[in-house]
Amino acid sequence: MRPEVALPVLLPLLSGALSLLFWRSRPVQRFIAVAGNVALLLVSVWLFVAVLTDGYITMQMGSWAAPFGITLIADMLSAVMILMTGIIGLAMGVYSLATTGRGHEKFGYYPLMHLLLAGVAGAFLTGDIFNLYVWFEVMLVASFALLILGGERAQMEGAIKYVTLNLLASVIFLSAVGLLYGTVGTLNMADIALRMDEAEHSGMVEVLAVMFMVAFGIKAAAFPLFFWLPASYHTPPVAVSALFAGLLTKVGVYSLFRVFTLIFDQTMGYLQDIMLWGAVLTMVTGVLGAAAQYEFRRILSFHIVSQIGYMILGLALYTPLAIAGGAFAIVHNIIVKTNLFLISGITYHLQGTYQLKKMGGLYRERPWLAVAFFISAFSLAGIPPLSGFFAKFVLVRAGLEAEAYVVTGFALAVGFMTLYSMVKIWNEVFWKALPEDNNVPASQTSVGDDGRLLKPTLWMMYTPVVVLAMMSLLIGVFAEPIMQVMIVVGDQLMSPSGYIEAVMGVSASAEAALLDPIELQAERIGDDAEDSP
């Protein structure tokens, strides 16, 4: 019985339910938003430390032995992702207090935020492929509602694309789960991995692998399936954008990592090439798309796509070091990308626009904000000694070791293009003088439901930004211990026997492949019957 593996899912669900109970009470909901996310962060640290000391942590829901029940399992990758969820959840909880308009708060912003976090945490921890689909849907429905909260025209248009393409991905995923069940007769991911080797139709397995790749590729916004992301991520209030940017696509990437290292590790063959070039095209198209944009959040949205390419590159190279680099890229990107969106929210509050051409002069006005942006932006571009440098360094090293020179060259070139976009934002927003036609809101206490501040509670906006910028800096400075963790992630993913044993039971794993599951269950019932006459 290890409660820490279930609590990251249960706590946000509880916070969400509590917030719903206090539907009319804004102060209580705001209190829960912070307190619930502090608790989530504490639990995620607990889980991370437990995984660090004990290795795999599993819990069989309802005490149904695997593969019959739903398994929750935390390996190092899950634990790291949950830790990131906790950090981003708390940052968003605090930041939302300042930026969420009363209209949004009245219509359930906080409960939806908690449910979104529950869905994300559930997807990271489940060991059951259909359960993964369910958590995806929990996450999606919460994100749909958050995306359209406010009901502006741009939000509706963005939401239609977001909803359609994400539902399409869900249905492809669901169809793949159905076909997978028809092929191997089980839904537990560890059990699937065991039975995959004996699957009769090798052609079917390849079809399944491609279906999972497409479904998770849409969710992760990989080339050529990313179009929903830049069409929708810049439309909702900025706290929602930041939350989506930090966590949602990463769930897709996590699922790709999980499925292709655990279940389809035999079929990687030519899929590896597709994935490799998909990763390169994702990086390149994302960064080129960003170069053409002059809207703060749209530039950042295209950079999400570009950065997804690096993570998938780690998976596609398919060596322990590359996977470690991919995981490092995920961690770095969650922190930095969220922070850039948060900074865009502050600049919007200060200057009343996201259009780079209309902004300016912030370096003189807010030098510390400029420093925070500088750290995050240059970390994104991979300048040493910030977090992005080490993520890229490990990936490039792994690429060179795998002798994928062209791909590695692209990865480096995209870094320069990222720098170009970031310098563009720096020049336009912070460096140049404020253009005269910008009417900065005089009092900075503008009221309204459009995401603008109700009161200048700037410290609530600054605190998460400063903390996340510091984390990016610290990841760079203390890259060695973090890299140790990532190497554990890479090793665990590349040798899934540990995962399978943790789920199926240490001794049972070898025999369970041979034994008929019904007989196993019958034996257990027989044992129980003997124990209680």
Partner 1 sequence: MEPLMALAIGLLYAAAVFMMLRRSIVKLVIGLLLLTNAANLLIFTTAGMTRGAPPLIPEGMLQPLGDVADPLPQAVVLTAIVIAFGVLAFAVVLIRRAYEIVKADDLDKMKDTDT
Instruction: Work out which of 178, 367, 384, 435 binds partner 1, going by CB under 8 A.
Output: 178
Q: Is 443 helix (H, G, I), strand (E, B) or coil?
A: coil
CB of 151 to partner 1, least distance (A): 6
HSE-up of residue 294 (Cα within 13 Å, Cβ side): 7
Under rule CB under 8 A, residue 518 binds partner 1: yes
Query: Binding segment for partner 1 among 47-55, 143-151, 307-315, 499-507 (CB under 8 A)?
Result: 143-151
C-beta of residue 389 within 8 angstroms of C-beta of residue 430: no
Per-residue tokens: 209: 């692998």
Under rule CB under 8 A, residue 168 binds partner 1: yes
Under rule CB under 8 A, residue 400 binds partner 1: no
Q: How distant, in Å, are the alpha carbons of 180, 193, 200, 332, 498 from that of 185?
A: 7, 12, 12, 38, 22
Instruction: Work out which of 103, 137, 501, 520 binds partner 1, going by CB under 8 A.
Output: 137
The nearer residue to partner 1, 156 or 274, going by C-beta atoms, is 156
Under rule CB under 8 A, residue 411 binds partner 1: no
Under rule CB under 8 A, residue 187 binds partner 1: yes
The nearer residue to partner 1, 58 or 235, going by C-beta atoms, is 235
57-60 and 71-74 strand pairing: antiparallel
Cα–chain-centroid distance for residue 447?
A: 32
Instruction: Work out which of 50, 134, 268, 291 binds partner 1, going by CB under 8 A.
Output: 134
Q: How many residues bind partner 1 (CB under 8 A)?
A: 43
Instruction: Work out which of 3, 52, 102, 182 binds partner 1, going by CB under 8 A.
Output: 182
The C-alpha atoms of residue 304 and residue 285 are separated, in whole angstroms, by 11
The nearer residue to partner 1, 435 or 526, going by C-beta atoms, is 526
Q: How distant, in Å, are the alpha carbons of 75, 133, 139, 320, 380 from that of 503?
A: 11, 19, 25, 22, 37
The C-alpha atoms of residue 347 and residue 369 are separated, in whole angstroms, by 9
Instruction: Work out which of 49, 154, 413, 447 binds partner 1, going by CB under 8 A.
Output: 154
The C-alpha atoms of residue 64 and residue 232 are separated, in whole angstroms, by 41
CB atoms within 10 A of CB 182: 11
Going 128 to 130 to 136 to 142, the CA torsion angle's sign is negative
Under rule CB under 8 A, residue 164 binds partner 1: yes
CB of 149 to partner 1, least distance (A): 11
Under rule CB under 8 A, residue 159 binds partner 1: yes
x/- track of binding to partner 1 for residues 231-250 (CB under 8 A) = xx-xx---------------
Consecutive H or E run containing 58: strand 57-60
The nearer residue to partner 1, 175 or 484, going by C-beta atoms, is 175
Under rule CB under 8 A, residue 522 binds partner 1: yes
Query: Binding segment for partner 1 among 56-64, 138-146, 426-434, 447-455 (CB under 8 A)?
Result: 138-146
Query: Binding segment for partner 1 among 165-173, 312-320, 321-329, 379-387 (CB under 8 A)?
Result: 165-173
CB-based contacts of 411: which residues, under 8 Å, 6+ apart? Answer: 280, 283, 310, 313, 392, 395, 396, 399
Under rule CB under 8 A, residue 224 binds partner 1: no
C-beta of residue 287 within 8 angstroms of C-beta of residue 342: no
C-beta of residue 43 within 8 angstroms of C-beta of residue 4: yes
E strands of 123-240, at which residues? none
The footprint of partner 1 on residues 103-132 (CB under 8 A) is 130
CB atoms within 10 A of CB 491: 15
Under rule CB under 8 A, residue 356 binds partner 1: no
Under rule CB under 8 A, residue 145 binds partner 1: yes
The nearer residue to partner 1, 201 or 455, going by C-beta atoms, is 201
Q: How buried is 119 (Cβ within 10 angstroms: 0-12 exposed, 13-18 middle, 19+ buried)?
A: buried
Q: Is 295 helix (H, G, I), strand (E, B) or coil?
A: strand
Query: Binding segment for partner 1 among 25-33, 84-92, 145-153, 405-413 (CB under 8 A)?
Result: 145-153
Instruction: Work out which of 14, 20, 38, 141 binds partner 1, going by CB under 8 A.
Output: 141
**Is the bond preceding residue 224 a cis peptide, omega within 30 degrees?**
yes
The C-alpha atoms of residue 454 and residue 216 are separated, in whole angstroms, by 39
CB of 177 to partner 1, least distance (A): 7
Under rule CB under 8 A, residue 520 binds partner 1: no
Per-residue tokens: 279: 């990763």
Instruction: Work out which of 181, 277, 363, 431 binds partner 1, going by CB under 8 A.
Output: 181
Under rule CB under 8 A, residue 199 binds partner 1: no
At 52, give phi and psi (nearest 5°).
-65, -40
- Residues in the site for partner 1, rule: CB under 8 A? 130, 133-134, 137, 140-141, 144-145, 148, 151-154, 156-161, 163-164, 167-168, 170-171, 174-175, 177-179, 181-183, 185, 187, 231-232, 234-235, 518, 522, 525-526
